[in-house]
Amino acid sequence: MRKQYQPQTSEIRLSSVLHALSDPRRLQIVLSLKDEAEESCTIYHDLMPKSTLTHHLKVLREAGVAKVRIEGTQHFYSLRTDDLELLFPGLMTSVLNVKPELIE
Amino acid sequence: MRKQYQPQTSEIRLSSVLHALSDPRRLQIVLSLKDEAEESCTIYHDLMPKSTLTHHLKVLREAGVAKVRIEGTQHFYSLRTDDLELLFPGLMTSVLNVKPELIE
């Protein structure tokens, strides 16, 4: 399977990260990942149509917010918390602790 | 002069704030406001065309990131740091301390 693009830590930029996090559905995915080491993307199939999910996971991955590990036909996603903390200290802590009613 | 829309603190939402901050030119405006109590928008006329500036200031204002005080024909902008800190602790500190080379 073709390797999917994921930026190096040094290539991650704040504008792309904030854009990725600014969509409520992407934020929903990010929040669901915060307590997990990694998660199969199949768990989101109930939340949104597969094509929508694929798009949002791609935006998160290409911005450097999430990374994917592929095992056979399974895609396992996790947050790049350490990379983001190194580049933008405190940002993800703040975003991940948002009160649900303040998202949108 | 017609009063310009600015959300109440309780109306500010994370997705709108992150969207407002995700544009590098808007972030440039926000960063220039961080050390000032308030600033006339005329200082940005060298940075971008007036219509572009007007649009970006509107997005920042409507998201609750910045507020405007109108005095005659002058518009004075400032960050809503206290409101944002109350709602999303640590977020603006993280964004305002970004290294310039990591913005875009």
Contact A91 B89 (CB under 8 A): no
Closest CA to A32 of A14, A48, A13: A48
Question: Distance between CA A104 and CA B71 in Å, rounded?
Answer: 32
- Which residue in A16, A22, A90 is closest to B94 by CB distance? A90
pLDDT tens-digit map of B65-84: 999 988 888 888 999 999 99
Selected for mutation to probe chain B from A27, A96, A98 (highest B CB count within 10 Å) is A98
pLDDT tens-digit map of B35-50: 776 777 666 667 788 8
Closest Cα in chain B, distance from residue A15 (Å) = 4
- Which residue of chain B has the CA closest to A26? B15
Tell me if residue B63 falls in helix, strand or coil.
Answer: helix
More confident of the two residues B39 and A9:
A9
Extended beta strands in B1-104, E state? 39-40, 66-71, 74-79
> pLDDT exceeding 70 applies to what percent of chain B?
90
DSSP secondary structure of A29-95: HHHHHTT-S-EEGGGGGGTS-HHHHHHHHHHHHHHTSEEEEEETTEEEEEE-HHHHHHHSTTHHHHH
- Which residue of chain A has the CA closest to B85? A94
Question: Distance between CA B69 and CA A45 in Å, rounded?
Answer: 47
- Is residue A50 packed enough to be buried (19+ CB in 10 Å), middle (13-18) or exposed (0-12)? exposed
The pTM (predicted TM-score) of the whole model is 0.91
In order of their start, the domains of chain A are 13-90 (1.10.10.10)
- Which residue in B12, B87, B98 is closest to A88 by CB distance? B98
pLDDT tens-digit map of A35-80: 776 777 666 667 788 888 889 999 999 999 999 988 888 888 999 9
ipTM value for the complex: 0.89
Tell me if residue B89 falls in helix, strand or coil.
Answer: coil
